[in-house]
Amino acid sequence: MTDLLRRALSSAPAVALAAGVCAGLAVGSAQAQSVWIFGERHDHPDHAKQTAEAVRTLARESRLRALVIEMAERGRSTSGLGPQATEADVRESLGWQEGAWPWAQYAPLVMAAVRSGAPVWGGNLPRAELRAAMSEPQWDERVPAQVHARLIDAVREGHCDVLPASQLVPMARVQIARDEQMARAVTEAVEGAAPGQVVVLHAGAAHASRLTGVPVHLARLAPSLPLRVIGFDSAYASAAEPGFDEWRAAQHVAPRDHCAELRARGMMPPAAAPSVPGVAPAAPPSSPSASDPASR
C-alpha cells in the first residue's frame, strides 16, 4: 500500500481494527466466519506461507470449503482434479502464468488445498478482459465515491506520477473489475457450504482491504456474509494498517524501488514525456503486480 493511500485510510473510521490487531491469532478463534481474506505483498513469500498454514489447519479441522486466489483467472479451477493431482496438472487447470506469479512461491498454498480435497478457484479478471475494463465507465459506479478517490490516488502514487491523468481512471477501473471478479468468485465458492466451513481468499493487500478492495464489493453482493480480513507487516508497512481485522508479524524482504524500475523502463512523468503523434497511451503493464502497486 502506498504512503498516500495509507495516510488517506488512516483518517477513515477504523473497521473492526481495535479487536483485530493481534499477530498470530489462533486460526480456530473465529468459528463463525465464512470467508477469511489474506492480503499479501507480492514480493514477500512469507505471506503466502502463512496463508498456506491457515489452509492446512482448516483442512485438518474439516472446515476448508475452497481456496480462491488472485493468482489465477476467474473461470479456472482444480474442481476436476483429485487430491493426488500432480503439480503440473494443477498448473494446467489453473492456467498458471509463471511470468507473473512464481509457482515456487505459491505452490505450498495451492497444493495444501488440493491435497485436502478442497477446490482452488481462480478469482482474477481474465487478462483478455483487462483492456475492455479500462474503457467501461460502469466500473466507476461500482464503489462509493470515497473508495474511487482512494484508488485513483493509489494508482497515481503507485506508478510514481508517471501516468498521464487520462490513464488514472482507466487503471482504477481495472482494479475495481478485479476486486468484483474476486468477490463474485468468493460468493460462488460459499454457495452450499456447511455451517462452520470457510472459504479462503488470498490476494494482494489492496484487494484484501475492507476500505478499498474485495470486501467493498462483498458488502453489496453478499451483505450478510461474515468476513475476517488479515494483513501482514512487511518492508513497506510494519505498523497495522486500517482496513484489516488482524495484523500478523511476517518475515521481511529487502524493499524494491518500484519507481526506479519504472524509470529503467523509460517511463517519465507526464510533464517530461515527449508527445509522439499517433502513439496511443501506454498499455497496462504485463505483470499483474506491476499494475497493482498498492498490493506490494
Per-residue pLDDT tens digits for 141-195: 999 999 999 999 999 988 888 889 999 999 999 999 999 999 999 999 999 999 8
**Mean per-residue pLDDT, 230-245:** 92
**Mean per-residue pLDDT, 220-242:** 93
Phi and psi of 148, rounded to 5°? -60, -40
Strands ordered across the beta sheet of 35-40: 120-124, 64-73, 198-204, 35-40, 227-232, 246-248
Confidence of residue 6 (pLDDT cuts 50, 70, 90): very low
Measured CA to CA, the distance from residue 22 to residue 126 in angstroms comes to 35
Q: What is the pLDDT of residues 262-295, one digit of tens each?
A: 778 776 555 443 332 222 233 333 334 334 543 5
pLDDT of the residue at 268:
58
CB 167 within 8 A of CB 282: yes
Confidence of residue 33 (pLDDT cuts 50, 70, 90): low
Q: Is the whole-model pTM more than 0.95?
A: no
DSSP state of 193: P
* Mean model confidence pLDDT for the chain: 83
Residue 236 pLDDT more than 50? yes
Q: Coil, strand, or helix at residue 204? A: strand
User: In angstroms, what CA-CA distances link 274 with 130, 266, 267, 268, 270?
Assistant: 26, 11, 11, 9, 8
DSSP labels for 97-132? -TTTS-HHHHHHHHHHHHHHT--EEEEEPPGGGHHH
Nearest in space to 121 (alpha carbons), one of 173, 45, 65, 193? 65
pLDDT of the residue at 266:
74
Q: Coil, strand, or helix at residue 73? A: strand
In this structure, of 21-25, 29-33, 111-115, 274-278, the range with the lowest mean pLDDT score is 274-278
Indicate the helix (H) or strand (E) that contains 275: none
**Mean per-residue pLDDT, 8-23:** 37
CB 193 within 8 A of CB 227: no
pLDDT of the residue at 267:
65
Residue 90 pLDDT more than 90? yes
pLDDT of the residue at 159:
85
**Mean per-residue pLDDT, 118-123:** 98
pLDDT of the residue at 24:
37
Collect all residues with Cβ–Cβ distance below 8 Å to 210 and sequence separation of at least 6. 15, 16, 216, 227, 229, 243, 244, 245
The x, y and z cell numbers of residue 120, run together, are 482452488
Residue 65 pLDDT more than 80? yes
Measured CA to CA, the distance from residue 204 to residue 39 in angstroms comes to 5
